[in-house]
Amino acid sequence: MLSVALDLAKMLQTAIQRRNQFLYENDIAISSDETMRGNYVRLDVALAELANAMGWFELTTTPKTADEETTLRNAYLKAMDGFFQVAAKQTWSQLIVQSDDKLAALTSARKAKSLSQQYLSMKQFLYDAFLKHEQPAFEHAWHLFLKLGLVDLGFAGEELEQAFLAE
């Protein structure tokens, strides 16, 4: 199987540290429940912004420019940070870290036949994770999201990791 260079544990830890630093520096104190709701809303908005950057639903066929590719990668990383924040707050961090075999299996999957179906499925799983506290639903949304980036968008794991850690 193909090896994917993507240290999700390091990225998750960095995301948590950045968020804690932001809250500390800005003297922000909100309840745990409100933090959780805010994290889900931020993730939801980030996924919508990613879909907008991808633009498949607009039915356009113009190739993306380098600037648009950077915008797309940044939108993907923002949504990834959203997943990290939700997982950390829910104490589901163990769902984020994937074995090399699991990542390799994700990257060997076929591209989605319908990005609309994939997007809407992710959203439904995230709603179930929030409203019903379903850990497996969050995990499935996370796997769909990783596949979206590594397969459908064709990002290299190393590229994502470097860009995320450089923010």
| Mean pLDDT score across all residues of the chain | 91
Q: Where are the domains of the chain?
A: 8-166
User: 155: left (phi > 0), else alpha (psi -120 to 50), else beta?
Assistant: beta
Total residues belonging to the chain: 167
The whole model's pTM is what? 0.91
Q: What is the per-residue pLDDT across 68-116, written as a single tens digit (0 to 9) for each?
A: 888 999 999 999 999 999 999 999 999 999 988 999 899 999 999 999 9
Asked if 155 and 149 touch (Cβ cutoff 8 Å), the reply is: yes
Please return the burial class of 163, using the count of CB atoms within 10 Å of its CB with bins 0-12, 13-18 and 19+. Answer: middle
